[in-house]
Amino acid sequence: MANPLSSLEQSIPLTSEEWEHLLAPLSNQSPVGEFLRYEGTYDKIKAARREDDTTLTRHEWDTELKKADWPQVRQLCVEALTHRSKDLQIAVWLTEALLHLHGYKGLKTGLQFLIQLSEKYWKNLYPPLDETDEDIDLRISPLQWLNHDKFVLQLGVVPITAPTVGDIPAYTFMDRDKALLLEKLPQPQKEAAISEGKPTTTKFSASVTLTSSTFYVSLVADLQESIDSVDKLNQILDEYCAEQAPSLGKLRQKLIDIQHVVNLILVDREPVSILNSLVTEKPEQSVSLSEDPLEEQHVKAKAAMPIRNRSEAYQRLAEIADYLSKIEPHSPTSYLIKRAISWGEMSLTDLLHEIVNDERDLTTIYTLLGIKKKS
């Protein structure tokens, strides 16, 4: 099973040119264009994003399952938003397409676009408000969809592993949950499920092991920016909609749950191994971005020297984090290295409090480890 994001994971969800055109007024006379719900555009997008439920029982005479055409959804949405209408429903469908095409990086981009579109055009945006601005159900219904179970479940089918070995499959957050449930089955049922190729904890762990730390560093950053964007979108809705503002609590909690799992994966890795992965996978970029050749040579020389003790290992990490923050100020890498360093100074209890958001998970971990819970 190939990683469904492998060919697109390095691409940009929206180019700077697309972003500029998506937010630009359509004309001086009509900045938001026309409402497209009833002239066919909505129907075309719905048809492109429709797919059959793969969990239903199928028979020999059933037709081939319909799969969503996410590139087509993206194209239709970008064209409509750029040339014909500033429409919140179409923007939400674009966000959904970016999630499927680019994973959590795409979700982050889509949420940021929704924020900017709402801030710039809320008064006249489509779907329209009524004349009194009192009934806003039509306007907020697209954003309510982001908190619907059907959308939230889609977050769980994005790969959270990206193994570098071709015949090892990528697994999702949902696969991990299924693997954990499989472990609790009676042995006969467990063996039957394994024979059917269902994900197991062993297979999931192997896929994680073969995934680079760079992937997880980027994943943590994308998830955190998505959570921050949900918070910002909530603030905007509270401001514009007051007591009628929809909640995005389910969406936010799902992102936190996924981030929690990814954080646990990173905690299991030595800070030096994370650093080595970052350095070895981006050598040319580091060289080209440096403005101080002597400083770069100093960093390289120190990196080549053997590390003698724990204190020196963390000192090395701090120096490289400072270096990366200078040459890549917009990259999350230096921030995440510094975060790993701060973890090294924490007790296990304090570390668990920082990386585990769910109180129930904390209680379970404390019980397993025999740790007294902080009062």
pLDDT digits (tens, 9 = 90+) for 191-204: 888 888 888 888 89
Inform me whether the pLDDT recorded for 295 exceeds 50: no
SS3 163: strand
CB half-sphere exposure, 242, CA atoms < 13 A: 4
Ranges 51-60, 185-194, 322-331, most confident: 185-194
Find residue 33's DSSP bridge partners.
Answer: 85
Q: What's the CA gap between 279 and 213, in Å, rounded?
A: 11
CB half-sphere exposure, 227, CA atoms < 13 A: 16
**Per-chain mean pLDDT for the chain:** 81
Contact 194/183 with Cβ under 8 angstroms?
no
The model's pTM is 0.71
- Contacts of 100 by beta carbon, 8 Å cutoff, 6+ apart: 68, 70, 106, 154, 158
Inform me whether the pLDDT recorded for 300 exceeds 60: no
Question: For the chain, where are the alpha helices, taking DSSP H only?
Answer: 16-23, 41-49, 70-83, 88-121, 137-145, 149-155, 173-182, 187-195, 201-209, 213-241, 249-267, 271-281, 283-289, 293-304, 310-327, 333-344, 348-355, 359-369
Rounded mean pLDDT, 121-140: 83
Inform me whether the pLDDT recorded for 224 exceeds 50: yes
Q: At what angle do helices 333-344 and 310-327 cross, to 10 degrees?
A: 160
Tell which wins on pLDDT, 242 or 114: 114
Work out the percent of the chain whose per-residue pLDDT is above 70: 75
Tell which wins on pLDDT, 71 or 67: 71
Contact 200/182 with Cβ under 8 angstroms?
yes
Q: What's the CA gap between 257 and 152, in Å, rounded?
A: 12
Contact 180/202 with Cβ under 8 angstroms?
no
Q: At what angle do helices 88-121 and 137-145 cross, to 10 degrees?
A: 110
- Report residue 285's pLDDT band, with 50, 70 and 90 as the boundaries: very low
Q: What's the CA gap between 104 and 322, in Å, rounded?
A: 27
Cα–chain-centroid distance for residue 281? 21
Contact 160/261 with Cβ under 8 angstroms?
yes
Find residue 172's DSSP bridge partners.
Answer: 159
Closest CA to 340 of 323, 369, 320, 360: 320
Contact 121/31 with Cβ under 8 angstroms?
yes
Taking CA atoms, 229 is separated from 54, 115, 116, 139, in Å, by: 31, 8, 11, 19
Inform me whether the pLDDT recorded for 342 exceeds 60: yes
Q: What's the CA gap between 227 and 225, in Å, rounded?
A: 5
Inform me whether the pLDDT recorded for 287 exceeds 70: no
Tell which wins on pLDDT, 74 or 210: 74
Inform me whether the pLDDT recorded for 134 exceeds 80: no
- Contacts of 103 by beta carbon, 8 Å cutoff, 6+ apart: 5, 9, 158, 159, 222
- Report residue 90's pLDDT band, with 50, 70 and 90 as the boundaries: very high
Contact 254/373 with Cβ under 8 angstroms?
no
pLDDT tens per residue, range 171-180: 999 999 999 9
Integer distance in angstroms from the first to the last C-alpha of the chain?
46
pLDDT tens per residue, range 355-366: 666 666 666 666
In this prediction, residue 243 carries a pLDDT of 86
In this prediction, residue 2 carries a pLDDT of 38
User: Where along the chain do its domains lie?
Assistant: 16-51+67-162+211-267, 271-344
CA dihedral 70, 75, 76, 78 (to 10 degrees): 120
Taking CA atoms, 324 is separated from 94, 163, 319, 345, in Å, by: 33, 26, 9, 21
Output the six-digit token pair for 172. Answer: 């999702």
Q: Which of 41-50, 87-96, 253-262, 339-348 is least confident?
A: 339-348
Find residue 87's DSSP bridge partners.
Answer: 126
CA dihedral 366, 367, 368, 370 (to 10 degrees): 80
- Report residue 312's pLDDT band, with 50, 70 and 90 as the boundaries: confident
